[in-house]
Amino acid sequence: MLRGAGVAVTISDAAAQAGGRCRSYHDPQLGLTIDNGNHLVLSGNEAVARFIRVVDAPMRFSGPDHAEFHFHDLSSGSRWSISLTDSRIPWWILMPSRRVPDTRVTDYLSVAKLMRTRNGAIGNGDLRTNPVWIRLLEPVLLAALNTAPAEASARLAATIILETIGKGGRACRPMIASPSLSAALIDPAMEWLSAHASPVLLSRRLKAILFEADRVIGLDWGEGAEPVGEQEAVVLAVPPWVATALVPGLDAPQEMRAIVNGHFAYSPPPGCPSMLGLFGGTAEWLFTFPERISTTVSAADALVDMDREALARLFWADICAAYNIDAPMPRWQIVKEKRATFAATPEQDARRPGTATRWRNLFLAGDWTDTGLPATIEGALRSGEAAAKLAIAA
């Protein structure tokens, strides 16, 4: 957005690769290129769509033609699929073949109260026995919020529901980056920036920000301060713990939640859905790719310190049960993100700062800023757009 408005842009990244915490890399243990996690976007993510259009990226997201979600309960062996109609009007609720098994329309009406809630945590209340909550919304919200739904912010949960299921199936088709997130988003962006004379400097960590009166006057990258001109602006897109160390008096989320992912070099059996929600096991979601099967566990603080091979064996047992596989565990990799996202509780949500700061040329970006969404790719991109708009107007 900044470059499109004619603003000269230089990007510095502390990491050795672009893309922030969502990254792709070649894993020698697997012999495959993988993402550190199973990053999902939805067909109705408007900021993602704008980003793809701006950088002229080829469509490298794959998913079903319609909003379908498949589940399997490993304890009972039962399987079910939920298929939303494309319309904003939720006709699928009236169709037993499309809705959550063993539910009535009244079950959906009681859950709809959640979308009118804006204060406090979701809690359990009457939801703990509601099959719509148990077999659809709870696992979806756990993945989106990376926080146990009972303790999560009702405001954030309501926003997720309104922007996905509330917009109809056309807006919530699950889209998975293929072959990798870097190929889908990061590599096209890097090519676009290069073509538009916008350098990206890697392995360059910001050590300090110099302030004077109401503006930033310098940035210290470890070799002395570099001046920031009177007409220049700074967009700070770093994790919250880094931002609070750099910006005096900044309030930001302090409590984080983990995500644990498992990757297995095994071609999935034919006909498997690209995404499968699990109950009764250790893994919560399975994702299939041509040469591998991957698992994800959200809010995984209880697992993050477990032995890696022990986790791999638990995940592989879930995969075998879900897909009827009888095979020894193949090459595997476990990726742990201890501080994957901020905890989406009401208390931590209230700590999220806005884009503007008290310095007129310093703006914040990141999925942890107050985007109105939990920590998602869509939220991160929206935060960047908001920061760019303010920087242009500064």
Domain assignment present for 74: no
Assess whether 149 and 207 both reside in one domain: no
CATH code of 276's domain: 3.90.660.10
Q: Are residues 156 and 202 in the same domain?
A: no
31 falls within a domain:
no
Pair 151, 96 in one domain: yes
pLDDT at res. 264: 98
List all residues 6 or more positions away from 107 whose beta carbon is below 8 Å from its beta carbon.
100, 130, 131, 132
Alpha helices in 61-117 (DSSP H): 105-111
CB atoms within 10 A of CB 393: 7
222 and 303 fall within a common domain: no
The enclosing domain of 244 has a CATH number of 3.50.50.60
* Strand-pair partners of 32: 27
Final residue before a domain boundary, out of 172, 193, 212: 172
CA atoms within 13 A on the CB side of 246: 25
Check whether residue 241 and residue 320 sit in a common domain: no
- In a domain, residue 67? The reply is no
Q: Note whether residue 39 is domain-resident.
A: no
140, 172, 204: which is the final residue of a domain? 172
Within this chain, do residues 266 and 194 fall inside the same structural domain, yes or no? no
Same domain, 268 and 244: no
pLDDT in tens, the chain (394 residues): 888 888 999 999 999 999 887 789 999 999 999 998 898 899 999 999 999 999 999 989 988 999 999 999 999 999 999 999 999 999 999 999 999 999 999 999 887 776 676 678 887 666 778 999 999 999 999 999 999 999 999 999 999 999 999 999 999 999 999 889 999 999 999 999 999 999 999 999 999 999 999 999 999 999 999 999 999 999 999 999 999 999 999 999 999 999 999 999 999 999 999 999 999 999 999 999 999 999 999 999 999 999 999 999 999 999 999 999 999 999 999 999 999 999 999 999 999 999 999 999 999 999 999 999 999 999 999 999 999 999 999 8
Cβ atoms 250, 244 nearer than 8 A: yes
164 with 93, same domain? yes
Domain presence at residue 37: no
> Residue 124: its pLDDT value, please?
64
Give the total number of structural domains in the chain.
Answer: 3
Could you tell me if residue 295 is inside a domain?
yes
Whether residues 160 and 91 share a domain: the answer is yes
Q: Letter for the amino acid at 24?
A: S
What three-state secondary structure class fits 231?
coil
pLDDT at 125: 66
Please report, as a single letter, which amino acid is at residue 191. E
Classify 380 as helix, strand or coil.
helix
Shared domain for 193 and 305, answered yes or no, is no
pTM of the model: 0.95
Is 218 in the same domain as 244? yes
DSSP string computed for 156-217: HHHHHHHHTGGG-GGG--EEEESS-HIIIIIHHHHHHHHHTT--EE-S----EEEEETTEEE
Is residue 100 in a domain? yes
Where in the sequence is the domain holding 261, given as residue range(s)? 256-342
Last residue of a domain, one of 137, 172, 207: 172
**Domain membership flag for residue 338:** yes
Please tell me whether residues 161 and 308 are part of one structural domain: no
Q: Which of 381, 378, 394 has the alpha carbon at shortest distance from 167?
A: 378
